[in-house]
Homo-oligomer: A and B are copies of this chain.
Amino acid sequence: MHSFLELSKIFEQKFNQRHFPTHTETLYEPAQYILQLGGKRVRPVCVLMGNELFDEINPDSYEVATAIELFHNFSLIHDDIMDKAPLRRGMETVHTKYGESTALLAGDVMLVQAYEYLNKIKRDYSQKIFEVFNNTAKAVCEGQQLDMDFEKRTVVSLEEYVNMITLKTSVLLAASLQLGAILGGAGQGNQQHLYEFGKNLGIAFQVQDDFLDAFGDPDKFGKQVGGDILANKKTFLMIHAMEVASASQKEDLANLMEIATINPTEKINKVLSIFRDCKVDEWAVELKEKYVQIALQHLDETAVLLARKKPLMELTEYLIQRES
């Protein structure tokens, strides 16, 4: 058994190699570039943890973990194009550095390379692994499409937003754990519990991310506080505020989002003030805790010795800051 941090180190070492041929360099160098920007590698480590929850690490888990990390980076490259994002992890995004067309192709070839790694695993379980991987890949694309659809809408319900976030981000965490469980020989029931653990943990993480963007300590958070507010982003907080605010507060929020000339700090402060009046901050903390509890309930119901669950508890602590 390895701790979460041990597995992170083991994976990072294995992953830290060139994943593409040198030839055609104009295509493969941009693909390799994003992999070198680092990242927490949480998803591939989830594959390893999902495996080790049930059995010693199956060598095929490294192939699947690598495929998951490549898939994740494929989606980052393409999302950054769609979002016109200039930076990723403090560095230029692939399309900023190499142009949109090359970034598009580099993403495509990254996805193919993910399937190449999947194709290395044993035939015994490969069909099931591909099935979970494909369903997840489609869900992630659906989530990104819904996110873009919601940007054009004025009203999005909390239920719709949770569904979108689940598809766009949580399902990949959930599937990573399930894939590991399959490779560890887990039965259907345990696979499902682990999937639900990952899915709910992912949603809790997203609630926290939205919360910290508005109410976080700028020094700890590492990003500019209020970025989502300035970008008029639909977040857990904004969606809930629009649901519970009074008619005049709703009007104020709508106006604040529309005025292009407002001073940024003033805009952030005014929106935060409405959020506080609507107790959106307390609500978000409770919502996060609700999803963490559902996640832990599923981990609890996973039928393996408690001691084996320690790395997944560490993951929960690593991802989620909790009061108690």
Contacts and interface: CB of A to CB of B under 8 A. Distances in A.
Interface of A: 23-24, 26-27, 78, 81-82, 100-102, 104-105, 107-109, 111-113, 115-116, 119, 123, 126-127, 130-131, 134, 137-138, 141-142, 144-146, 148-149
B116 A127 contact: no
A116 to B, nearest CB: 5
Nearest to A21: B138
Contacts of A123: 123, 126-127
A102 B145 contact: yes
B101 A142 contact: no
Q: Main secondary structure on chain A at its contact with chain B?
A: helix
Contacts of A109: 137-138, 141-142
Contacts of A100: 82
Given A109-B138, A113-B138, A26 B145 contact: yes
Given A82-B101, A134-B119, A146 B24 contact: yes
Given A105-B78, A145-B26, A138 B112 contact: yes
B144 A105 contact: yes
A257 to B, nearest CB: 22
A130 B146 CA distance: 31
Given A102-B145, A108-B137, A111-B111, 20 more contacts: A23-B142, A24-B142, A27-B141, A27-B142, A78-B104, A78-B108, A82-B105, A102-B148, A104-B104, A105-B145, A108-B111, A109-B138, A109-B141, A111-B112, A112-B141, A113-B134, A115-B115, A116-B134, A119-B131, A123-B123
A81 B99 CA distance: 13
